[in-house]
Amino acid sequence: MATIIDGKELARKTRQNLKIDCDNLKAQGIVPKLAVIMVGDNPASKVYVRNKSKACEEVGIEYEEFLLDEKTTQKDLISLIEELNEREDITGILLQSPIPAHLDINEAFRTISPKKDVDGFHPVSVGKLTLGQDTFVSCTPYGVIKMFEEYNIDLEGKNVVIIGRSNIVGKPLIQCCLNKNATVTVCHSRTKDIAEYTKKADIVIVAIGRAKFLKADMVKDGAVVIDVGINRGEDGKLCGDVDFENVSKKSSYITPVPGGVGPMTIAMLMNNVIKAAKM
């Protein structure tokens, strides 16, 4: 039976340590502050934003929210970001996605100052990550790497298979794992016979948004399995991209959903805000 990687507990410890950092910065007259922009009325986004606000409160980071109407124009969105770039009291800027389809999210990410890009989505941040330079790392991949470090899971020389190639999770994870000297294979919706790759993997990271996609017969005994997905199962309960009940019987380490990667994503956002304040 696998060791459960407790993201909730690790996130709690991380926030405790960040609170000490935050208090030290405040003692020097530096007050970390996160600005969150939300466009429209997406119910899931509201939950995520509320969780981010709670985490800020716990760590001691100041928080300001900007709620824009669903019909907001690109010009108004860009104008708000530019205004926040100029504000000296704002340490980090986060644009909550998804945003309405008529808006260009990539232009918005490019407009956020690289110095305030706490989500790690600016091309400068992505480029620095690729070059192995110090930068803001996208929060979910960063959270996954911190889990490996906490549980002493060494990636060097390991065969890592990542299922999913999104700009937010899959692509940054490739680089994070390469930076740890892993051998990385990426599978996606056009990959023929994904199981052929996952069966040989020492570590499988799944981020495709398909409930219980990874089955027990797709992993080898003793594999490490990281589940980044969050879905509603047929029973209405939250579940990940991994068939947890059966895969956990074969794997050495596994993350649960909920309580795995999710809490670490928010903890790493807090980490990036503190990092921005120190800079």
- Strand partners for 34: 63, 92
pLDDT at 185: 98
Q: Which residues are catalytic?
A: 52, 96, 119
**What's the CATH class of domain 139-262?**
alpha beta
- Asked if the model's pLDDT at residue 45 lies above 90, the reply is no
Give percent of the chain above pLDDT 70: 100
Q: 193 pLDDT band (50/70/90 cuts)?
A: very high
User: Rounded to an integer, what distance in angstroms lies between the CA atom of residue 71 and that of residue 74?
Assistant: 9
- Asked if the model's pLDDT at residue 234 lies above 90, the reply is no
Q: Mean pLDDT throughout 94-111?
A: 96
Q: 42 pLDDT band (50/70/90 cuts)?
A: confident
Q: 235 pLDDT band (50/70/90 cuts)?
A: confident
Structure tokens at 151: 């549980």
Report domain extents, the chain: 29-113, 139-262
Q: Mean pLDDT throughout 44-73?
A: 94
- Asked if the model's pLDDT at residue 1 lies above 90, the reply is no
Give the DSSP letter string of the chain. -PEE--HHHHHHHHHHHHHHHHHHHHHTT---EEEEEEES--HHHHHHHHHHHHHHHHHT-EEEEEEE-TT--HHHHHHHHHHHHH-TT--EEEE-S---TTS-HHHHHHHS-GGG-TTS-SHHHHHHHHTT-S----HHHHHHHHHHHHTT---TT-EEEEE---TTTHHHHHHHHHHTT-EEEEE-TT-S-HHHHHTT-SEEEE-S--TT-B-GGGS-TT-EEEE---EE-TTS-EE-SB-HHHHTTT-SEE--SSSSHHHHHHHHHHHHHHHHHH-
User: Rounded to an integer, what distance in angstroms lies between the CA atom of residue 269 and that of residue 2?
Assistant: 28
The correct answer on CATH 3.40.50.10860 for the domain covering 29-113 is yes
pLDDT at 226: 98
- Asked if the model's pLDDT at residue 47 lies above 90, the reply is no
User: Rounded to an integer, what distance in angstroms lies between the CA atom of residue 222 and that of residue 42?
Assistant: 39
pLDDT at 233: 78
- Cis preceding-peptide flag for 258 (omega within 30 of 0): yes
Please state which of the ranges 44-58, 78-92, 160-174, 184-198 shows the lowest mean pLDDT. Answer: 44-58
Quote the crossing angle between the two packed helices 170-179 and 123-130, to the nearest 10°: 30
176 φψ region: left (φ > 0), alpha (ψ -120 to 50), beta (else): alpha
pLDDT at 232: 84
pLDDT at 26: 97
Is 10 within 8 Å of 41 (Cβ atoms)? no
Q: Do 29-113 and 139-262 come out as alike in CATH topology?
A: yes
pLDDT at 150: 97
Per-chain mean pLDDT for the chain: 96
Give percent of the chain above pLDDT 90: 93
